[in-house]
Amino acid sequence: MSSDETPNVPTPRNSREAVREKAQKVHAKQSRARIMRRIIVGAVAIVAVAAIGTAVAMAVTSSVSKPTLSPTGMDADGIVVNTAPSVGADDVPETPTPEETEGGGAGETAEPTPEPTESPAAVDVHIYVDYLSPGAGDFERANARQLAGWINEDAVTVTYHPVSMLTASSNGTKYSLRSAAAAACVATHSPAQFYPFNHELLVDQPEMDTDGRSDVELADLAIAVGVDDAKVVRNCIENGDYASWAKEATSRALEGPLVGSEDLVLTSAPMVVVNGEAYVGSLKDPVEFAQFVLTVASDTEDSSSPTPTPTASETPAA
């Protein structure tokens, strides 16, 4: 080999250029890979978002397309009771006789118990009940017997309004709301059995801050009082058909005005309104409530028919 032959090796300059070129190729390759990954990830994200959007749209459409079910036969969100089957003697106490009331001793003549007679138009009673409210149970137990008598004698018109003010007081089971919805199911599909169902819900209440009855148990109770078409009533209760209505009806009562009044709003349950006036007396005293009904009816102006008048009860001899 001659001394002027050039060795077949890269010069430092050529070596750096080769490395740079290789680096550029690797960078370009990595860039293309990153771009491809971004494209793939983006495509997957778009598909995922589209799928979620479709699911949400379908859910919203389904919700919108399924209207809120409303019970039938309602009067201002209330159920008018036209006939009241006799309640059992074990369910409610006897209406106190005059001598049993405060201030009435043996042989003394006490204030007679008022008994509304005739004129259903003159006495319009609206009872707003939450089936978890102890006060609602107290009122029903104290007044069920005389209310049933007045209803059957056409002396008063009684309308029950199921509301759900205590929905948060049953360990998350929403018993207040579910029982109100169940009452609406019975009123819609078997109106003749609404009164006994309503009565049983009130006189045999679960305690507050307990789970209350399940939907199955509510349906069982409805069937036990003899509802027509038990299967339809059970499905209505267990599917919660009127839960939305119960919630909305409660909101309407809270906003007011309550039916028959100018400015009353629902402030508690029970709330009893007679001819547009709220009863604020004892929930456990049927005599006091009867006196209130008499007084309000007597004060009703422009009545076209006779108003309730008190009838004296015989006082047993000493």
Per-residue pLDDT tens digits for 266-315: 999 999 999 999 999 999 999 999 999 999 998 875 454 544 443 333 33
More confident residue, 157 or 32: 157
pLDDT at 85: 81
The band of 46, judged by pLDDT with boundaries at 50, 70 and 90, is low
Note the pTM of the prediction, 2 decimals.
Answer: 0.69
CATH architecture group of domain 79-299: 3-Layer(aba) Sandwich (3.40)
The band of 6, judged by pLDDT with boundaries at 50, 70 and 90, is very low
pLDDT at 68: 78
More confident residue, 255 or 93: 255
pLDDT at 51: 56
pLDDT at 113: 52
| pLDDT higher than 60, residue 141 | yes
Average pLDDT over residues 176-187: 98
Which two three-digit tokens encode residue 225? Answer: 């009082």
Average pLDDT over residues 27-47: 61
More confident residue, 169 or 26: 169
| pLDDT higher than 60, residue 130 | yes
Distance CA 177, CA 131 (A): 9
Q: Distance of alpha carbon 249 from its chain centroid, rounded? A: 8
pLDDT at 89: 43
How far apart are the two ends of the chain, measured CA to CA in Å? 154
The band of 25, judged by pLDDT with boundaries at 50, 70 and 90, is low
The region of weakest confidence among 22-36, 159-173, 228-242, 269-283 is 22-36
Q: What is the largest CA-CA distance in the chain?
A: 156
pLDDT at 107: 41
pLDDT at 17: 57
pLDDT digits (tens, 9 = 90+) for 182-235: 999 999 999 999 999 999 999 999 999 999 999 999 999 999 999 999 999 999
The band of 53, judged by pLDDT with boundaries at 50, 70 and 90, is low
pLDDT at 84: 87
Average pLDDT over residues 3-27: 51
Average pLDDT over residues 172-182: 98
